[in-house]
Amino acid sequence: MIISRTPVRVSFCGGGTDVDWFAESEPNGGRVTSLALSRHIHVTVNARFDERVRVSYSKMEIVDDFEELEHELVREAMRLTGVTSGVEITTIADVPSRGTGLGSSSTVTVGLLNALHRFAGREVSATQLADEACQIEIDVLGQPIGRQDQYAAAFGGINSISFTGEGVDVEPLDLGDDVVERLESEFTLVFTGMSRRASSVLSESPEDESDKLSRLRAIRTQADEARAHLECGDLSGLGALLETAWQSKRGITASVSNEELDTLHDRLLSLGASGAKLLGAGGGGFFLVQGDNTLRERLTVELGADHRIIPLSVDFFGSRIIHDGSE
């Protein structure tokens, strides 16, 4: 049996500038400042006695031919890796696997590829995993998403990731242990209780295309600012930047926010957050908030009955094989 463990991601700033049309048309391309969160999706791949394929996720499929699989990420990962028969595949997630704003669908793809490659006897690099995940999701399946999630999941750590017509470059941020400790103490995720697939939000047409472009250019600049705040340890400044980034993002399309989300956002600020930004494309999922080291306790007391509160913790490993029964 092969087991892979792959982290989801938290994007501080820059989300939306990683889509190809923006990254390839802007002189400076796109940029995202993000980290891999220590919440994971595990994928197991095990040999079957027969040649059928069994896939277990929120439902179970047993097919004679992998082409019959409804789970399109599993189907295309099997096709790409050449592992197309005689296997059982299971995915298990620490967080909901869709609609959280944590890039979980891409995390599934990266983890699938890692486990299937290892099952076939191959060790592959983080770059190859991310490239192949993008190939499946964007090129083959035509999803209107960007490329940040795949690279964050494959590489792990805290990174500044740039996107241009020439490709993707992942630059790890070498932050001191004290900054990482403060980051994990001051930043918290708050689940809204709502979810919406990123592709449905990203495919929505804005009322004003020129306004969308100007907002994305501002978001691109904010990614540079987020990096600067992290590198100098100015986490309160980064928290305030989250608020600015949210105001830029929420006006891109009508479905990014709604009255219920706006009410929760204002409640987070009233409890002492210096900034709160909805992660991912919008419409639900998690708010990322920053405040002093007493904020998380207040959030838990005031909101914990209705909203899941998750501490921020960094995964520095990226996608990796944690069990290889073939060895």
| CATH number of residue 127's parent domain | 3.30.230.10
**What was the pLDDT predicted at 199?**
46
Same domain, 130 and 119: yes
Domain of residue 139 covers 2-174+315-324
**What was the pLDDT predicted at 200?**
47
Task: Provide the angle, in degrees to the nearest 10, between the axes of the packed helices 126-134 and 104-119.
Answer: 120
**What was the pLDDT predicted at 195?**
66
Ranked by mean pLDDT, which of 71-85, 183-197, 302-316 comes out on top? 71-85
**Using only C-alpha atoms, what is the Rg of the chain?**
19
Calculate mean pLDDT across residues 89-110.
90
pLDDT band (50, 70, 90) for residue 256: confident
Same domain, 235 and 290: yes
**What was the pLDDT predicted at 100?**
87
Percent of all residues in the chain with a pLDDT value above 70, rounded to a whole number: 95
Per-residue model confidence as pLDDT tens digits over 108-150: 999 999 999 999 999 999 999 999 999 999 999 999 999 999 9
Same domain, 187 and 166: no
Same domain, 237 and 280: yes
Per-residue model confidence as pLDDT tens digits over 52-94: 999 999 999 999 999 999 999 999 999 999 999 999 999 999 8
Q: 317: phi > 0 → left, psi -120 to 50 → alpha, else beta; which?
A: alpha
DSSP 8-state symbol, 109: H
* Domains contained in the chain, number: 2
**Angle 310-314-319 from CA coordinates, rounded to 5°:** 110
Same domain, 26 and 127: yes
Per-residue model confidence as pLDDT tens digits over 11-36: 999 999 999 999 999 999 999 999 99
SS3 label, residue 93? strand
Same domain, 36 and 166: yes
| Token pair listed for 205 | 């047409």
Same domain, 16 and 57: yes
Same domain, 91 and 199: no
Same domain, 113 and 238: no
Q: DSSP alpha helices (H): ranges in 232-320?
A: 235-249, 259-270, 295-303
Same domain, 170 and 228: no
Q: 32: phi > 0 → left, psi -120 to 50 → alpha, else beta; which?
A: beta
**What was the pLDDT predicted at 248?**
87
**Angle 116-158-124 from CA coordinates, rounded to 5°:** 25
Identify any residues that bridge with 1 across adjacent strands, giving them in sequence order: none
In this structure, which amino acid lies at residue 301? V
- Strands 309-311 and 53-56, sheet pairing: unpaired
DSSP 8-state symbol, 67: G
Same domain, 87 and 224: no
- HSE-up of 89 (CA within 13 Å, CB side)? 32
Distance separating alpha carbons of residues 3 and 45, to the nearest angstrom: 7
**What was the pLDDT predicted at 76?**
98
CATH number at residue 295: 3.30.70.890
**Angle 55-95-30 from CA coordinates, rounded to 5°:** 100
Same domain, 190 and 142: no
